[in-house]
Structure 1
């Protein structure tokens, strides 16, 4: 993480910064080791002073994230022993189950929501491939999610840069703090709503006339 931030600081006034943001956003979609939000927000705090260009950051982050998500989707759709072993891990299996349930309730909107859930974007995109979610529909919803995420991350970073215009380290810290707070509130809200739905699902009367998710494929009318 420190290495990634060092690379960002040395390239922030160079056109290479856009390629770096693109690469981190794409890599994070496949292997979430370095949080892409941190890099995008950090770059955006510098953008508040004029360099790099905020529009360029949004485009680099969104396109990179989309490329990574498509790769993750294809990995899930292709299957293979590695994906199956990954899916059998208890924590991953539970996350996949929740993702499948989210697809059943929200359809493509789950792809947009999943991009803002910690660790959820990879599970969401891989699961979309595993359940054979339609390609074009996946691309449309995921592109919307990636663009929304890029705008959000860049906007948070710009806000931090404006507030601490002469102290970039404070600006980066504020931007990341705001993002963590918003993500935390969203995560807690999601968990509370999930518990309420679980309690509702245990009520026999709530199942009358309901349709159940198969966990195998997604049929779109």
Structure 2
């Protein structure tokens, strides 16, 4: 998808497209915005796009998409049929009950977590002001993370922006895989501890 955006790299329309991609990713998780944001951030290390404008657009798009998912959850959250999203929504409900708004921030970094926590917040009728605060914090944290990975890749491979983008995305995948493995290990230790106490 990044190669399709390259012709727009110096155009203001780029930011409109990025806003739309990040927003839609909030309620249609099949359109991942991570590679786009990381890739554009890597390109920004050697020229356009403007990284400050990119960050503002990513944050605004994140909050807009979360609001749509919240409204969908409030109106039709119980009708979700996608198996992965149903499972994520169940876990999000547990996390929201246990950790409150912190689950929205953490959920932003998990597969399907962003959509699940936003929809669950809506179906649980979480106050809009509280939801907006936490989704704003989540959007800022995720923008810093994705743009930071991209800039790191871009600075590492200044002469090859596409290689820098690939490096940033690879770092993101390593972080994601590491988190998944740690979570699985914790669960296996917890279940082993439960069996021993029985």
Give the TM-score normalised by the residue count of structure 2.
0.91
**1:163 paired to 2:156:** yes
Q: Is the Cα–Cα contact under 8 Å of residues 9 and 49 in structure 2 kept in the other structure?
A: yes
Give ranges in structure 2 of 5+ residues lacking alignment. none
Greater Rg by CA: 1
Aligned-residue RMSD, C-alpha: 2.1
User: Which residue number in structure 1 is paired with residue 180 of structure 2?
Assistant: 187
Supply the distance in 2 between the matched residues of 1:133 and 1:95 (Cα, whole angstroms): 18
Question: What's the offset of the Cα at 1:190?
Answer: 2.8
User: Which residue number in structure 2 is paired with residue 25 of structure 1?
Assistant: 22
User: Which residue number in structure 1 is paired with residue 13 of structure 2?
Assistant: 16
Question: What's the offset of the Cα at 1:11?
Answer: 0.8
Q: What is the SS of the residue equivalent to 1:144?
A: helix
Q: Is the Cα–Cα contact under 8 Å of residues 158 and 164 in structure 2 kept in the other structure?
A: yes
User: Which residue number in structure 2 is paired with residue 148 of structure 1?
Assistant: 141
Supply the distance in 2 between the matched residues of 1:199 and 1:139 (Cα, whole angstroms): 39
User: Which residue number in structure 1 is paired with residue 2 of structure 2?
Assistant: 5
Give the TM-score normalised by the residue count of structure 1.
0.82
Segment drifting more, 10-19 vs 148-157: 10-19
Post-superposition CA distance 1:154-190 (Å, at most 9, x none): 1110111111111122111101000111122122223
User: Which residue number in structure 2 is paired with residue 43 of structure 1?
Assistant: 40
Supply the distance in 2 between the matched residues of 1:167 and 1:151 (Cα, whole angstroms): 22
Distance change (3 Å), C-alpha of 1:198 and 1:19: farther
